Amino acid sequence: MRKGLRLGVDLGGTSVKLALVDERGRLHDKIAVDTVKQPRALVKRLSEALRPWSNRSLLGTGVGVAGDVDTRKGVVRFSANLGWRRVALAGLFRKFKFPSPIVLDNDANAAAWGGYHLELGARPKSLITLTLGTGVGGGLVLDGELYRGVTGSAGEIGHLVVQDGGDPCACGNRGCLESYLGASAMVRWARAAYAKKKQVVEPLDPKILEQRALRRDPVAQEAYARAAQALGTALTSLVNLLNPDTILFTGGVARGATLFLPQALKILKSGAFKTPATAVRIVVARGKTDLGVAGAGLLVT
């Protein structure tokens, strides 16, 4: 990887992180901008935010965005969180004179790449990363390379179906892992459960739900129990299919891992084949919140 700084962009549903990233994944400067859903207006806003860095010499721009991404064409085919379809995002970044080359990828792939380089010490042979935030993202690093699949769509772990005909998902399917473990889905389910009990709990957000679960609130605990069951089912399939040596959890929901991960691992141990289930190492990111933007920058090789 070439020495020097590149621009990393982590484009999420509520905010965008931008950072200057060196070849070792270290951040030299960082800013955040609120997300607007209209693509051209968003990229224009980002270009204006970069003015303080206009005199910096950069090797290129790496962009991680939530959604189904065509990495070769630089197109976001579909993003449920952003409401986008067929957005030629790399072309917009070029139009607004971002440093070239422009490398576009799924945000969870970027986070997986960041985790592979920064989070684990000795780099594993194979890594599955689950990014637990508003939704559930997934990224695969196999034999030291990001695995994107034939169409660039590999790693959509959040859309593994863990319950046939289960809760609706933003993707249009039902029973996806994201429908149980994504922060938005957990809060939505808890709000409905409180309403059934004629309890008004407002405001209610992921952090408050986590705090209530830690205080043994029954509804909040049930939200995490549902998440644990869904995650355990997904992990069983992933371990049997890919036999990874490491699974890394990152993102805001992962900070509450003690509320769901032990039960999920019990399901994994009982459901997966013994040899791969025993071999896999489970790691929760050490509080880092910048793996996505660092990994996006490191996409520029």
Sorted by sequence, the CB contacts under 8 Å of residue 195 that are 6+ apart come out as none
Q: Show me where the domains of the chain are located.
A: 6-108, 113-284
Q: Do domains 6-108 and 113-284 have the same CATH topology?
A: yes
Q: What is the predicted pLDDT for the residue at 211?
A: 97
Q: What is the spatial distance between Cα 128 and Cα 126, in angstroms, rounded to a whole number?
A: 7
Q: What is the predicted pLDDT for the residue at 288?
A: 61
Q: What is the predicted pLDDT for the residue at 123?
A: 83
State the virtual CA torsion across 108, 183, 231, 142 in degrees, nearest 10.
10
Q: What is the predicted pLDDT for the residue at 287?
A: 67
Question: What is 6-108's CATH topology?
Answer: Nucleotidyltransferase; domain 5 (3.30.420)
Q: What is the spatial distance between Cα 151 and Cα 248, in angstroms, rounded to a whole number?
A: 24
User: Phi-psi category of 97—alpha, beta or left, where left has phi over 0 and alpha has psi -120 to 50?
Assistant: left
Contact assessment for residue 119 and residue 283, using Cβ atoms and an 8 Å cutoff:
yes
Percentage of the chain exceeding pLDDT 90? 87
Q: Which of 297, 290, 250 is nearest to 63 (CA)?
A: 297
Q: What is the spatial distance between Cα 77 and Cα 86, in angstroms, rounded to a whole number?
A: 4
β-pairing, 84-87 with 75-79?
antiparallel
- Extract the residue ranges of the chain whose pLDDT is less than 70: 287-289
State the virtual CA torsion across 72, 74, 78, 84 in degrees, nearest 10.
-170
Question: What is 113-284's CATH topology?
Answer: Nucleotidyltransferase; domain 5 (3.30.420)
For the entire predicted model, the pTM comes to: 0.90
Q: What is the predicted pLDDT for the residue at 289?
A: 64
Q: What is the spatial distance between Cα 54 and Cα 98, in angstroms, rounded to a whole number?
A: 10
pLDDT in tens, 143-180: 999 999 999 889 999 999 999 999 999 888 999 999 99
Give the rounded distance of the alpha carbon of 99 from its chain centre: 24
201, with CB counted inside 10 A (0-12, 13-18, 19+), is middle
